[in-house]
Structure 1
Amino acid sequence: MSRFLPLTIRFVNGGTMVVTTVAEARTALAGSWKNKEAPDYLEAVRLVDDAIAGICRPAIAFAAFKKAAAQQGLLKPARPSAALTMLDELWSRFKAPPG
């Protein structure tokens, strides 16, 4: 299965998990969520199961998982990569007035 940019999930019970694959998303969906009856959660479960079975594109399933996690406030904010931080620093030097 394809890999995606890492998502860090903070479960209701305080545990965390980094999710980078559809299989890991399935494991995360079995964790402690705020509302396992929410429509977006149920849709994510269905699509992740379908992706594992080969009848749904993994990218669609992973996007549904991310959406469900975000709506329940379980996504931990990601820090910018080291490369992005360096690029931001360089850009700030170019846009600063000379002097």
Structure 2
Amino acid sequence: MGKFLPLSICFVDGRSMQVSSISEAEKALAGHWPKKEADAYREAARLLAAARDGICTPDTAFLAFEKAARQQCLLKPRKSSAGLRILDSLSAPN
């Protein structure tokens, strides 16, 4: 299991994967992205490599990956947990 909360990525070719670590994020970058030449994509690739080499913090690299995936609309929405659904129902007006 990875260090980060898992992100569900759905690639252009329809494949999907869960990403929750630096190594999984690097594998995901090899998938089918709409624009691999985009600045956010290239920055994520650079920071993930730097994190693997110990030059960059993993948190910074993973955030860059998430930003790139979000900009290219590859993130699947997260389902709220059962606990959050209960809290939402309790706080909703009658």
Shorter chain as denominator, the TM-score bin is over 0.9
TM (normalized to structure 2)?
Answer: 0.94
Larger Rg: 1
What value does the CA root-mean-square deviation take over the aligned residues? 1.0
Structure 2 residue aligned with 1:62: 62
1:12 and 1:19 map into 2 onto residues whose CA distance is 16
Displacement of 1:43 in angstroms is: 0.2
Structure 2 residue aligned with 1:15: 15
Displacement of 1:45 in angstroms is: 0.2
Displacement of 1:11 in angstroms is: 0.4
Secondary structure in structure 1 of the residue aligned to 2:63: helix
**Structure 1, unaligned runs of 5 or more:** none
Structure 1 residue aligned with 2:52: 52
Secondary structure in structure 1 of the residue aligned to 2:9: strand
Amino acid at match of 2:6: P
**Structure 2, unaligned runs of 5 or more:** none
Displacement of 1:15 in angstroms is: 0.2
Cα deviation digits, residues 15-54 of structure 1 (max 9, x gap)? 0000011111001001110011111100000000111111
1:30 and 1:53 map into 2 onto residues whose CA distance is 18
Displacement of 1:5 in angstroms is: 1.1
Displacement of 1:86 in angstroms is: 1.0
Secondary structure in structure 2 of the residue aligned to 1:18: strand
Displacement of 1:55 in angstroms is: 0.8
1:42 and 1:8 map into 2 onto residues whose CA distance is 20
TM (normalized to structure 1)?
Answer: 0.89
